[in-house]
Amino acid sequence: MKIKSFADFKINKKILHAVVDMGFEAPSPIQSMTIPLLLSGKDVIGQAQTGTGKTAAFGIPIVEKITSRELQALIITPTRELAIQIAEEIKNIGKYKRINVLPIYGGQPIERQIRGIKRGIQVIVGTPGRILDHLQRKTLNLNKINIVVLDEADEMLDMGFIEDIENILSYAPQTRQTILFSATMPPELLALAKKYMNNPEYISVIKEQITVPTIEQYYFESKEKNKVEDLCQVIDMAQPEKALIFCRTKKRVDSLVENLRIRGYIADGLHGGLTQRQREKVMQNFRKGNIELLVATDVAARGLDIDQLSHVINFDIPQDPESYVHRIGRTGRAGRSGVAYTFITPEEYKHLRAIEKVIKQRVNRKNIPTVMETLENKKSYLYKRLLKLLEQEDNNKQVLDLLNELSGHYSYQKIALAALRLCFGDDNQESSNNGLSSDSNKKSDMVRLFLNIGKVNKIGPGDIARSIAEGASIPENAIGSIDIFDRFSFVEVPANLSEKVFQLMQGINLKGKILNIEPAKNRK
C-alpha cells in the first residue's frame, strides 16, 4: 500500500493526534518508506538528505513501541544540540502517551542526569561519550533496551565516535532492533551496519540530485582581506531575518562575530569551544530572534533545526560537497524557500566546481553589492532595529550614564545624530555630507565627483587630493570636501576645472585600481 497519510500507519491515535498538533500534514518520503518497516521490527538503514524528517521517521515507531515505564529506546547522536532537539521532538510525538524522554550529553553535570535517569525514563537521547560514561559508571542500564538508533551516523563517523558506538552497542541486548540514519553512506558505515545490524533493509531517498531545489544558490568572489566588508555588504543588501553563517574554524567564528558586532550587527557564535550553558543560551537567543546572525562551525550547526532560517551564508566554502549540502539544507526546510550564499576566494573556484559537479547544479555568480545599493537597505535595516529598541524600556546603566554625561554639553538632537552616524559606520568622516544627507551645504561653484575607489583600496583623503592636484594640475587647496566610503569616494572640485579632472584622470591607475570618475548623482 502506498502511504499517503499518517493515518495509514498502524499507530496509536494518540500519536496521530500529536503529529497533527506538530503541524505535520503528510509523511515525508523517508518517513513513508521506513516507518512501516520499523513498526514491523526490522533493522533499517535510512539515507536521506538533511531536513527530510528522519527524526520522526524513527521517533514515531519508538513512541508506538513503548509499552512500559522502563528504559526501552536509546538514540545516539553526535552533538548536544541534536540530543536536545531530538528529545524535544520525541517528547512532542509522545505527548499524549506521556512518554518520558531524557537528553544526556557532556557538559551537563552528570549527577543531574543520574537523578533524571532514575526517574523512570523510557527514551534516552545522548552523545556517545556521555552515554559510555554512564554505562561505565553503571548509572545507565541497557538490559531492557529494544531499540537503538544511530542518528546522523556519518557525522559520528567523522567525529571519531565509531569506537564509542561499538562499545555502547556491546551493552545492549543482541535481540534489539538497530536503526541507522544518515545523510551520506560512506563504506565505513556500511561495514559498521554489517557488523552490528541484523539483516538490515536499506532505504535511500537520495536522488541523483542531492540539493533541495527550492534553495537559491549563489556565490560571491571575494579576496580574503575583503571578506568581512563584503559579507557586510551582502548582509545589508539581503537583510536576512535570521541567517546562519558558516566558518571553517572556531577561531574564525570568534573573529567574525567580533567583526560583525563592531559593525553593529546582532551576531553570536556557536562552536565546540563553548560551554554547554553558553551554547544553549546562544541557541535560545537565536530561536527567539534576539540574534540575527548566528556564526557557526559545521560541527556545532550539524542537524540544528531552526525555524525561518532565511539565509545560509558560507563565509568559508565548505571542505567537501557533502557538507555543502548539509549546510545549505539548513535553509529552505520543509518546503520553505531559502537562499544560500557562498563566498569564494579566487583560488577556490576549483573547489566550487567540484561541489557543483556533485550537486549537479550550477551555483550562479552574484557581484558584491555596491555601497550605493546597500545604503538604502542599511538605512531601513537600522530603522527597523532602532524602532525595536525605542519600544523597549532602557535600563542599560552604561548607556544612560553616557547620555547624562553628553547631555550636559550637547543637545539631544546632536547626540542622536552622532549616535546614528556611529551606527552607520560613518564616524570617521570629517563631514556628514555623504550620500545620505542632503546636498544643501554644497558650494554652488563646486561639482561633486564620484570616484570608484575607497577605503578598501587603502586610499585616504590626502591621497585623493594629491592625485587630483597632480594628475589634473590644479592647486590642492582648490579641492573641496572629500568623503571616502569603503568602495567609493566623493570629491568636490571647482566646476570650471571638473572637465580637466575628467580628461586627465579618467582611467588612470590609482593604487592598483582603474579609476572611474562620474558626476555624483544628486540624491535626495
Binding site for ligand ADP (CB under 6 A): 24-25, 27-28, 31, 48, 50-56, 89, 303, 305, 333-334
- Stated length of the chain: 524
Residue 452 grid coordinates? 570608484
Rank residues 51 and 321 by Cβ distance to ligand ADP and give the closer one. 51
Least distance to ligand ADP, CB of residue 259, Å: 30
**If you count DSSP H runs as helices and E runs as strands, how many of each does the chain have, helices first?**
20, 20
Closest to Mg ion by CB, 54 or 176 = 54
| Nearer residue to ligand ADP within complex by CB, 50 or 489 | 50
- The distance of closest approach from Cβ of residue 116 to Mg ion in the complex, given in angstroms and rounded to an integer, is 23
Helix axes 13-21 and 54-65, enclosed angle (nearest 10): 150
Cell of 222: 571575494
CB nearer to ligand ADP: pick between 159 and 517: 159
Amino acid at 437: S
Q: How far is the CB of 17 from ligand ADP (least distance, A)?
A: 15
**In this chain, which of 33, 48, 49, 54 binds Mg ion, going by CB under 5 A?**
54
Residue nearer to ligand ADP on the CB measure, 55 or 331: 55
Q: Which does 480 bind (CB under 5 to 8 A by kind): ligand ADP, Mg ion, none?
A: none
DSSP result, 400-420: HHHHHHHHTTS-HHHHHHHHH
Per CB under 5 A, which region of 53-61, 261-269, 330-338, 363-371 contacts Mg ion? 53-61
Distance CA 111, CA 118 (A): 11
Q: Which residue from 299, 302, 296, 283 is spatially nearest to 252, judged by alpha carbons?
A: 296
In the bound state with ligand ADP, the residue whose beta carbon lies nearer, of 243 and 257, is 243
Min separation Cβ 95 and ligand ADP, Å:
14
Site for Mg ion in 260-319 (CB under 5 A): 303
SS3 content of the chain, % helix, strand, coil (to 5): 45, 15, 40
Q: Which of 209, 150, 159, 210 has its CA nearest to residue 182?
A: 150
Are 262 and 400 a contacting pair, CB within 8 Å?
no
Single out the residue of 316, 313, 343, 308 nearest to residue 328, CA to CA. 313
Residue 221 binding result from ligand ADP, Mg ion, none, given CB thresholds of 5 to 8 Å by partner type: none
Name residues contacting Mg ion, limited to 206-235 (CB under 5 A): none
- CB-closest chain residue to ligand ADP: 53
Span of 50-58, 115-123, 206-214, 410-418 interacting with Mg ion by CB under 5 A? 50-58
Orientation angle between helical segments 110-118 and 128-137, nearest 10 degrees: 70
Residue 24 or 96 having the CB closest to ligand ADP: 24
- Pick what 28 binds: Mg ion, ligand ADP, none; C-beta below 5 to 8 Å, kind-dependent: ligand ADP
The partner in contact with residue 305, picked from ligand ADP, Mg ion, none with C-beta cut-offs of 5 to 8 angstroms by kind, is ligand ADP
Query: All 3 cell numbers of residue 483?
Result: 568623503
Q: Which does 51 bind (CB under 5 to 8 A by kind): ligand ADP, Mg ion, none?
A: ligand ADP
Give the phi and the psi of residue 297 in degrees, each rounded to 5.
Answer: -90, 165
Half-sphere exposure of 215 (CA within 13 A, CB side): 31
**Nearer CB in complex with ligand ADP: 31/467:** 31
Residues at the interface with Mg ion (CB under 5 A): 54, 303
